C-alpha cells in the first residue's frame, strides 16, 4: 500500500494511497513521519500527522501500514516515560540526544531486556487462541501471555526470556510473542462492568472526607492557572491507594514532567514502601510537541492503563489537562474543515469525552479477575470560566467535580478546592464504607463539618458589613472552629509530611476539632467567658 | 534536494499577503520562497498550504507592487533558518535578521531552522539556580531561576519598559562568575520610535553581551512572528552550544498575539475567543517551552516576556493562555503605580512556581523561605484588612489589626518600592526582616 503525498495543510496531509482503511496508520515522506487516516474518499485519503509537517514535500512517498495506531503492551511499561505516540523518551534521549526530531522511531518496550517467564502448557500440547501460555513477572505483577493463534506447541520458552524472541512456536512455524499490540482507540474487552463500591483513597483530607472518589470512578479538577491543578494531580498520583498509576501530561510544561520524573524516582509509595516510579507510567506530551500527538496521547495512556487493569490491578489514570486535549481536537477538526460547534470546538467533543470516561470502571476481566480503572482529569477553563464547552462536557459525565478556586489559591489555601461548589456523586456509598471501615462517626462529623462551613461563610459575610464586633459570642466561637477546620483540616501542604493523610488520621483529626467545638459550645452556654475558652484551648 | 532553483510566473491570485501559485511541480511545507515583483524588488515568503499543484504562499513583507503576469516566485527548497555565529553578539537586527546598526551582516558559522525542536522532557535539568534581578519584589518573593519562563503582566501606561530596562541592566546569574558567561537576547515587537530610542540607549549602556531583534510598529506584521523565533534560536545556540546563561526578554507579547490574529484572519482560519486563533495556546507554547536547561550541558535559556493586559483584564486570552504555559507571573498594579511606587509589582497575584527550588541555603540565604513566607502572609492579611478598614474605619479596628495595616503600607513603600536602585538579595532580605521587626512580626 504505497502512494504519494498530493497535498499538505498544516498537520493534515492528503495522499493517493489506494485501499486504505479509516484510522489506518500511515508513514509519510522521507523522514517517515507517523499519521493516521481520518478521511477517505475515492482516490485520496486525508491523514492526520502526529509530527511536525514542516519540510514535508509534495510527491514524497507515503505508505499505509495496514493497521490502526496501536500501543505496544507487555512487561516493562512501568517506570517508563513515553510521548503521546508511546515513543520511549528515556531511550530516545540516549540514542538521539536531548531534542526530539521528527520521524525517529524506537520500539516502546525494551526488546532486549530479560524477564522471568513461567510457562503453563508443554511442548506437544494444543493451545487455542487466547489461551494463557504462561506468565512473566514484572516486580509484583504477573503478566499473562496469551496465545495469538491456535495450534500445537513445538517450542515454549522457560526462565529468562527477551521480548524480541518468540516465546513459543506452533506447528507450521507460527511465532508467538510475549507482547501484544492493541489499537488505542478501541477499549479492551472485559466480561462485565460492576458498580464501584470501594473508595479511591487520595490522602487528601478534603477529597477523602468531603468529596470521596471511588475506585473505578471518574473525577474532574477544573481551575484557572495558579490554582494548583498540577500539584494536586501529582499529590494524588503519589498517594492514591492503587497498584498502578498512569500519568498523562497532556499539553503541559516540560519542566513539570522532568521534575516529576526526578521526584518519583526518589519518593516511596506510602502503601507498599516501594519506589513510586515502580508503579508509575508517565506519558509526556508537552505543550510544544505536535498537537495531533496530544490528541492521541490520552488514548495511549488509557490503553496502557486498561492493560494493567486486565491483570486484576487497581489502576488510576490522571491526565493534565483535558482542555489541552480538547483544543487539539478543535485544531484537527478545523484543519479538516468540519462544521464548528460552540467556541469552535467540534460538536462531537462531548461524545468523545463521554466515550473516554466510559473506559473507567470496575470490571470482571476476561480471565475472571476484578480490576478497576479510575480516571481523574484536570481542566483548564479559559479565563477561569466554568461555562466553557470543555468543562461543561466533562461535568455531564464525570462522577466528581472538585472545583479549584482562584480566591483560595491567592490566600495560599491549598489544595484550593472550593467546598461549596464541589460535589461527588459517590459520597453516599463511600460514606457508608468509611463509616463501617474507618470510623462510626464519619458521616455524622461530615454533616457537622459541612454545616459549620456553611454557617461560617454566612457569618463572615455579616461580619464584613457590621464589623467583627457586631457578632455574638456563639458566632465568634463558630468562626474559631471553622477557622480550625479550614486551616488545620482542609489545608494540606504538599511540601510537608502532612501531604498524605490516611483515612484513620483524617477521621481522628476532624473528630478532635469537632469535639473541641462541641465542648467549647457547652462551656459557653454554661457561662464561661469566650476569651477564656479560646485562649486556653487555642490549637 | 532539488538541483536547481524553481521559478514560476504562475501566480493566480494575490490577496492581502497571500499568493496563490499554480502548476508547481515540487514544493515543501514551510519552504522559503522569494517573490520578485515587476520592479525587481524581492521579498521573502513561506509556503502555507499545498493542494495538488496549487500552492498558497504567505509573504513576509509588503505585497504592494506585485502583479499576476510579471512577478516571479522562486522556491529555495529550504525552510526558514537563522544564521548563527558568535559575531552576532552586541548587534542589533530587524525581524528578518538584517542588521539595523549599519554594520555588515555577520558571517554565519551554521544555519539552524528557526522553528526549533522540542526538548525531550527526560533530558531537561531542573531549573534551580537563582537569578538576581535587583528588584526585591521579584528576588525576595517571586524568585526567578535559570531555565524558567516568567512573564510580566502589565497594563497600558504602567512602567513595564522601565522594569525591562532595569532587568536588562541589573540581572546577574549566580555561578556565571565561574567561567560561565551570560548574555541577554532582547526581542522588541511592534515598538514605537519613542520606545525604540529608549531601549537603544539602555542596550548601549549595559555591560553584558546582548543580541537585539527590533521590529518597529511600522515594520511588516509577519516579522513580529519571526523575530521571537530568531531570538530564541540564537538563545538556544548561545546557551546549549556556547555554554552561556541567556536571558530572553520579549516585549510586547500582546503585539505578537495581535499579529498572530491578523495573519490568521487573513488566512481565513476559524477565529477562537476574541478573534484569536484556536491554536494560540500551542503557538505560544512553541515559544515559551524553548526556555530550559539540559542535563550535562552548561547553559540555560530563561524567558521574561512582557504582556500588556488589554483592558487590565487578566482573564483576557493573551495573559490567560500565557499564564497556563509559563511558570508563574509577575503582575503590575495600577494602584501601586498611582502611589508612585516603583516597581509597582503586586506580590499577591504574582507567583513563581519554581521559586522553592531556587532559594535557601547554598542558593540565596538560609532564611529566605521563612522571611518570604512571613512577608507574604502579613501582607495578604493586611490587604484583607484594608477591605474591612474601608467599612468600619481604622478607629474601629483592633490594635493588632492596625499594626498589620501599618506594616502593609510600609511593606509597599519600603520593600516593594525601591526607585531606580538595585538591591542585592541580601539587601532585599535584610530590608524585609527590618520591616517585620519594626512591627514586631518576626514570629509567625
The answer to whether residue B55 sits within a structural domain is yes
The answer to whether residue B363 sits within a structural domain is no
Name every chain A residue with its beta carbon within 8 A of the beta carbon of B346: none
Residues 328-347 of B with CB under 8 A from A: 328-329
- Residue A152's SS3 state is strand
Is A100–B118 a contact, with Cβ atoms under 8 angstroms apart? Answer: yes
Nearby residues of B125 by Cβ (< 8 Å), 6 or more positions away: A258, B147, B292, B293, B294, B295
The answer to whether residue B291 sits within a structural domain is yes
A170: confidence class by pLDDT, cuts 50, 70, 90? very high
A187: confidence class by pLDDT, cuts 50, 70, 90? very high
Taking residues A206-213, what's their average pLDDT? 96
**Distance between CA A48 and CA A13 in Å, rounded?**
6
H helix runs in A310-370, sequence order: 322-335, 349-357
Q: Give the minimum alpha-carbon distance from B319 to chain A in angstroms, rounded to a whole number.
A: 9
Nearest CA in chain B to A379: B324
Give me the residue from B124, B270, B320 closest to A254, CB to CB.
Answer: B124
B131 lies in the same domain as B223? yes
B203 lies in the same domain as B108? yes
B168 lies in the same domain as B37? no
Q: Are A452 and A485 in contact (CB under 8 A)?
A: yes
**Distance between CA A338 and CA A332 in Å, rounded?**
9
> What are the structural domains, with CATH classification, of chain A?
2-68 (2.40.30.20), 114-183 (2.40.50.100), 189-426 (3.40.50.300), 442-537 (1.10.1140.10)
B291 lies in the same domain as B427? no
Q: Please state the domain count of chain B.
A: 3
Q: Which of B283, B284, B303, B281 is nearest to B292 (CA)?
A: B303
B23 touches chain A (CB under 8 A): no
Antiparallel, parallel or unpaired: β B72-79 and B6-8: antiparallel
Q: Give the minimum alpha-carbon distance from A33 to chain B in angstroms, rounded to a whole number.
A: 14
Q: What is the b/e burial string over B368-396, where b = at least 16 CB atoms within 10 angstroms of the residue's CB?
A: bbebbebbbebbbbbbebeebbeebeeee
**Distance between CA B134 and CA A299 in Å, rounded?**
47
B116 lies in the same domain as B198? yes
Nearest CA in chain A to B352: A226
How many Cβ pairs closer than 8 A exist between chain A and B? 185
Give me the residue from A224, A286, A412 closest to B121, CB to CB.
Answer: A286
The answer to whether residue B443 sits within a structural domain is no
Here the ipTM equals 0.88
The answer to whether residue B411 sits within a structural domain is yes
Residues 255-274 of A with CB under 8 A from B: 255, 257-259, 261-262
Nearby residues of A407 by Cβ (< 8 Å), 6 or more positions away: none
B29 touches chain A (CB under 8 A): yes
Residue A338 is classified by DSSP as: P
Its domain, for residue B426, covers 368-438
Pick from B50, B78, B106: which residue ends a domain?
B78
B51 touches chain A (CB under 8 A): yes
For A437-463, write each residue's pLDDT tens digit: 999 999 999 999 999 999 999 998 888
B271 lies in the same domain as B166? yes
Return the CATH number at B157.
Answer: 3.40.50.12240
The answer to whether residue B1 sits within a structural domain is no
pLDDT at B178: 59
pLDDT at B405: 95
For B199-243, write each residue's pLDDT tens digit: 999 999 988 899 999 999 999 888 999 999 999 999 999 999 999
Q: Which of A103-117, A179-193, B150-164 has the lowest mean pLDDT?
A: A103-117
Backbone φ and ψ of B201, nearest 5°: -65, -45
pLDDT at A539: 45
Give me the residue from B117, B126, B391 closest to A465, CB to CB.
Answer: B391
B375 lies in the same domain as B279? no
A11: confidence class by pLDDT, cuts 50, 70, 90? confident
pLDDT at A61: 94
B130 lies in the same domain as B152? yes
Q: Give the minimum alpha-carbon distance from A85 to chain B in angstroms, rounded to a whole number.
A: 14
Residues 385-404 of A with CB under 8 A from B: 385
Name every chain B residue with its beta carbon within 8 A of the beta carbon of A99: 117-120, 123
The answer to whether residue B359 sits within a structural domain is no
pLDDT at A537: 55
A470 touches chain B (CB under 8 A): no
A71: confidence class by pLDDT, cuts 50, 70, 90? very high
A334 touches chain B (CB under 8 A): yes
The answer to whether residue B444 sits within a structural domain is no
Nearby residues of B376 by Cβ (< 8 Å), 6 or more positions away: A412, B141, B347
B156 lies in the same domain as B39? no
For A335-388, write each residue's pLDDT tens digit: 888 888 888 899 999 999 999 999 999 999 998 999 999 999 999 998 888 999
Q: Which of B265, B211, B200 is nearest to B238 (CA)?
A: B211
Which whole-number Å values give the CA distances from A273 to A204, A300, B198, in the listed order? 19, 28, 59
- Residue B176's SS3 state is coil
B18 lies in the same domain as B139? no
| Spans in chain B with pLDDT lower than 70 | 1-3, 174-179, 444
Is B117 buried (19+), middle (13-18) or exposed (0-12) by CB count in 10 A? Answer: middle
B254 lies in the same domain as B137? yes
Q: Give the minimum alpha-carbon distance from B133 to chain A in angstroms, rounded to a whole number.
A: 22
Q: Which of A100-104, A270-274, B108-112, B375-379 has the lowest mean pLDDT?
A: A100-104
Q: What is the dihedral of CA A5, A9, A10, A14, to 10 degrees?
A: -30
Amino acid at each position: 500500500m504505497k502512494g504519494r503525498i498530493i497535498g499538505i495543510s498544516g498537520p493534515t496531509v492528503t495522499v493517493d494511497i489506494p485501499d486504505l482503511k479509516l484510522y489506518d496508520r500511515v508513514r509519510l515522506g522521507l523522514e517517515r513521519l507517523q499519521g493516521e487516516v481520518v478521511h477517505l474518499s475515492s482516490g485520496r485519503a486525508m491523514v492526520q500527522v502526529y509530527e511536525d509537517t514542516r519540510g514535508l514535500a509534495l510527491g514524497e512517498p507515503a505508505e499505509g501500514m495496514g493497521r490502526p495506531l496501536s500501543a505496544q503492551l507487555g512487561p516493562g511499561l512501568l517506570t517508563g516515560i513515553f510521548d503521546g505516540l508511546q515513543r520511549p523518551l528515556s531511550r530516545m534521549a540516549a540514542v538521539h540526544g536531548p531534542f526530539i526530531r521528527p520521524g525517529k522511531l524506537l520500539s516502546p518496550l525494551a526488546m532486549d531486556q530479560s524477564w522471568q517467564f513461567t510457562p503453563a502448557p508443554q511442548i506437544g500440547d494444543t493451545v487455542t487462541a487466547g489461551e494463557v501460555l504462561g506468565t512473566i513477572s514484572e516486580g509484583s505483577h504477573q503478566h499473562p501471555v496469551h496465545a495469538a493463534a491456535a495450534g500445537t506447541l513445538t517450542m515454549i520458552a522457560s526462565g529468562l526470556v527477551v521480548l524480541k524472541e518468540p516465546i513459543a512456536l506452533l506447528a507450521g512455524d507460527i511465532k508467538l510473542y510475549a507482547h501484544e499490540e492493541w489499537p488505542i482507540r478501541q477499549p479492551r474487552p472485559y466480561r462485565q462492568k460492576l458498580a464501584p463500591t470501594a473508595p479511591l483513597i487520595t490522602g487528601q483530607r478534603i477529597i477523602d472526607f468531603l468529596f470521596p472518589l471511588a475506585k473505578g470512578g471518574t473525577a474532574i479538577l477544573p481551575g484557572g492557572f495558579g490554582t494548583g491543578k498540577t500539584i494536586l494531580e501529582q499529590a494524588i498520583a503519589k498517594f492514591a491507594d492503587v497498584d498502578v498509576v498512569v500519568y498523562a501530561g497532556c499539553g503541559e510544561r516540560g519542566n513539570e514532567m522532568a521534575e516529576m520524573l526526578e521526584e518519583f524516582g526518589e519518593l516511596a509509595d506510602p502503601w507498599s514502601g516501594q519506589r513510586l516510579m515502580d508503579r508509575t507510567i508517565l506519558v509526556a506530551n508537552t505543550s510544544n510537541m505536535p498537537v495531533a500527538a496530544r490528541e492521541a496521547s490520552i488514548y495511549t495512556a488509557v490503553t496502557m492503563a486498561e492493560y494493567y487493569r486486565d491483570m486484576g490491578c487497581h489502576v488510576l489514570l490522571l491526565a493534565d489537562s483535558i482542555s489541552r486535549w480538547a483544543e487539539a481536537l478543535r485544531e484537527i477538526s478545523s484543519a479538516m474543515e468540519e462544521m464548528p460547534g460552540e467556541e469552535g470546538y467540534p460538536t462531537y467533543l462531548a461524545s468523545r469525552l463521554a466515550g473516554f470516561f466510559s473506559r473507567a470502571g470496575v470490571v470482571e476481566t476476561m480471565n475472571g479477575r476484578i480490576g478497576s480503572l479510575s480516571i481523574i482529569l484536570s481542566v483548564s477553563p479559559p479565563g477561569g470560566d466554568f461555562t466553557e464547552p470543555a468543562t461543561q462536557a466533562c461535568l455531564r459525565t464525570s462522577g466528581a467535580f472538585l472545583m479549584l478556586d482562584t480566591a483560595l489559591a491567592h490566600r495560599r489555601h491549598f489544595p484550593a478546592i472550593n467546598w461549596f461548589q464541589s460535589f461527588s456523586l459517590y459520597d453516599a456509598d463511600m460514606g457508608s464504607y468509611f463509616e463501617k471501615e474507618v470510623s462510626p462517626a464519619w458521616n455524622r462529623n461530615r454533616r457537622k463539618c459541612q454545616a459549620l462551613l456553611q454557617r461560617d461563610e454566612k457569618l463572615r459575610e455579616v461580619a464584613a458589613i457590621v464589623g467583627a464586633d457586631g457578632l455574638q459570642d456563639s458566632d465568634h466561637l463558630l468562626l474559631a472552629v471553622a477557622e480550625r477546620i479550614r486551616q488545620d483540616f482542609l489545608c494540606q501542604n504538599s511540601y510537608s509530611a502532612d501531604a498524605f493523610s490516611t483515612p484513620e488520621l483524617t477521621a481522628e483529626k476532624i473528630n478532635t476539632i469537632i469535639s473541641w467545638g462541641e465542648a467549647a459550645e457547652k462551656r459557653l452556654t454554661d457561662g464561661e467567658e469566650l476569651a477564656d475558652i479560646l485562649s486556653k484551648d487555642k490549637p | 534536494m532539488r538541483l536547481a532553483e524553481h521559478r514560476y510566473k504562475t501566480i493566480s491570485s494575490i490577496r492581502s499577503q497571500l499568493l496563490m501559485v499554480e502548476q508547481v511541480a515540487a514544493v515543501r511545507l514551510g519552504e522559503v520562497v522569494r517573490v520578485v515583483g515587476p520592479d525587481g524588488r524581492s521579498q521573502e515568503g513561506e509556503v502555507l498550504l499545498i493542494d495538488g499543484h496549487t500552492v498558497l504562499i504567505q509573504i513576509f513583507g509588503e505585497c504592494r507592487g506585485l502583479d499576476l503576469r510579471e512577478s516571479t516566485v522562486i522556491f529555495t527548497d529550504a525552510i526558514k533558518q537563522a544564521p548563527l555565529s558568535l559575531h552576532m553578539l552586541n548587534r542589533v537586527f530587524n525581524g528578518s535578521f538584517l542588521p539595523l546598526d549599519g554594520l555588515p551582516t555577520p558571517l554565519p558559522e551554521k544555519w539552524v531552522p528557526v522553528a526549533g525542536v522540542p526538548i525531550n522532557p527526560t533530558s531537561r535539568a531542573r531549573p534551580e539556580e537563582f537569578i538576581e534581578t535587583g528588584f526585591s519584589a521579584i528576588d525576595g518573593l517571586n524568585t526567578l531561576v535559570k531555565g524558567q519562563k516568567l512573564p510580566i503582566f502589565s497594563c497600558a501606561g504602567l512602567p513595564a519598559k522601565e522594569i525591562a530596562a532595569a532587568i536588562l541592566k541589573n540581572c546577574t546569574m549566580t555561578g556565571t562568575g565561574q567561567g560561565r558567561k551570560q548574555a541577554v537576547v532582547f526581542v522588541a515587537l511592534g515598538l514605537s520610535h519613542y520606545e525604540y530610542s529608549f531601549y537603544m540607549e539602555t542596550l548601549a549602556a549595559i555591560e553584558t553581551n546582548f543580541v537585539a531583534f527590533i521590529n518597529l510598529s511600522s515594520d511588516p506584521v509577519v516579522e513580529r512572528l519571526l523575530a521571537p523565533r530568531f531570538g530564541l534560536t540564537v538563545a538556544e545556540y548561545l546557551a546549549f552550544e556556547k555554554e552561556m546563561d541567556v536571558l530572553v526578554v520579549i516585549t510586547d507579547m500582546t503585539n505578537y498575539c495581535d499579529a498572530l490574529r491578523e495573519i490568521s484572519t487573513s488566512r481565513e482560519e476559524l477565529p477562537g475567543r476574541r478573534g484569536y486563533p484556536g491554536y494560540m495556546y500551542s503557538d505560544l507554547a512553541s515559544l515559551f517551552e524553548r526556555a530550559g536547561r539540559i542535563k550535562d550541558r552548561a547553559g540555560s535559556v530563561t524567558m521574561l516576556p512582557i504582556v500588556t493586559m488589554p483592558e487590565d483584564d487578566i482573564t483576557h486570552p493573551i495573559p490567560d493562555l500565557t499564564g497556563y504555559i509559563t511558570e508563574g507571573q509577575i503582575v503590575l498594579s495600577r494602584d501601586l503605580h498611582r502611589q508612585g511606587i516603583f516597581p509597582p509589582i503586586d506580590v499577591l497575584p504574582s507567583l513563581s512556581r519554581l521559586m522553592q527550588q531556587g532559594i535557601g541555603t547554598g542558593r540565596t540565604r538560609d532564611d529566605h523561605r521563612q522571611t518570604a513566607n512571613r512577608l507574604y502572609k502579613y501582607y495578604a492579611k493586611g490587604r484583607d484588612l484594608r477591605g474591612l478598614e474601608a467599612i468600619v474605619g481604622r478607629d474601629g479596628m483592633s490594635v493588632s489589626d492596625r499594626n498589620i495595616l501599618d506594616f502593609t503600607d510600609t511593606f509597599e513603600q519600603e520593600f516593594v518600592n525601591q526607585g531606580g536602585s538595585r538591591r542585592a538579595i541580601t539587601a532585599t532580605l535584610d530590608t524585609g526582616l527590618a520591616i517585620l521587626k519594626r512591627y514586631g512580626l518576626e514570629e509567625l
